[in-house]
Structures are given as structure tokens and as C-alpha cells.
Amino acid sequence: MALIEGIFEPGLVVTTVDWVLNWSRKRSIFPMTFGIACCAIEMMATGAARFDLDRFGAGAFRATPRQADLMIVAGTVTFKMAERLRRLWEQMAEPRFVIAMGACAISGGPYHLHAYHVVKGVDQVVPVDVYVPGCPPRPEALIEGLMRLQDKIGTRTIAKKCEV
């Protein structure tokens, strides 16, 4: 859990504080460079000049997971890569998010039938927030995925959840 979550009792109205925190978190997401395969090229194209990801505040790709809060898993995850992926995800500080980009990261993609070394979906290794389909997804699709993630971040709250 992140540092300032669940510190107020439920029922306390924290909307403006929530709004400010969520606004600042979603308008400056730092993705981690985790391009594995072909989708990485479309991720690079999204960060390049035409589909500029920086106008969403998410253009500062950090190489180290310690400074990143978004891991875009772009490409096929193999068994050999899976333990490194898990380790990198664990090194990210909370709040952290994962976008599964491309068919391979969602469910194994074109390799789901006969491959013996492919993990059928990265959600077997890390919890995924947004799935972006495509093979590879167009840069516009990745940007839409990022905007869905921004909506998801907007629903977070620092109040404790009600005990039912």
C-alpha cells in the first residue's frame, strides 16, 4: 500500500485532496522502458515525434524501475524472462501500474498454441491494470490505454474503504 492511503476513517470527505493527488499522479506517469519485442517499436514510436507521449506527461521513460510507476509490458514474455519481469515489478515503488500491451502480453498472442517457452499472458506473472489489444497496437491504441489508466488512477482514494 502507498504511504498515504487508508489513514482517514471512512466517511470523512476527502474529495479535494483525492482529486489533487490523483490529478498529479495521472498527469505525470513515469513509464519504465520495458520493451521486449515488436510492440516495443510501437511504444518507441508513441514516444517519438508524431504521437508524442510527452504531451500526456508520460514521456519521461525511466530505465530503472526504482524511479518508474508504470511498466508497459510490450512484447512476448517467455519463461526465461518471466522471473526477471517479476523482480523488476517488485522493485517498483507503489503506487505502480502495469499496462499489458499487445496480444502477446495479454494472452500469448500468435504464440499461444504451439509455443513451449511463452507465458500465455503477463497477468500470470504480475497484476495488470489495463490491457491494450493489437498486434502490434497502433500508437493511438496505446495512448488510449494510457488514458484509461489515467481514468483508473482518478478513482483512487486515500480514505479507508468502508467495512461492510
Q: Which residues sit at the interface with another protein, rule CB under 8 A?
A: 32-38, 40-42, 44-45, 48-50, 61, 63, 75-76, 78-84, 88, 110-111, 113-121, 124-125, 135-136, 138
* CA–CA distance, 159 with 86 (Å, rounded to integer): 29
Closest distance of CB 110 from another protein, Å:
6
Task: Report in angstroms how near the CB of residue 88 gets to another protein at its nearest.
Answer: 6
Residue with smaller CB distance to another protein, 7 or 135: 135
Nearer to another protein, 119 or 159 (CB): 119
Q: How far is the CB of 123 from another protein (least distance, A)?
A: 9
Which DSSP helix (H) or strand (E) runs through 71?
strand 70-74
Give buried/exposed letters for 3-22 (b at 16+ CB in 10 A, else e). Answer: eebeeeeeeeeeeeebeebb
Pairing of the two strands 97-101 and 31-32: unpaired
Dihedral (Cα; 36, 104, 141, 130), 10-degree rounding: -90
Nearer to another protein, 24 or 64 (CB): 64
By beta-carbon proximity to another protein, the closer residue of 113 and 162 is 113
Extract the C-alpha cell encoding 130: 489495463
Give the shortest CB-137-to-another protein separation in angstroms.
10
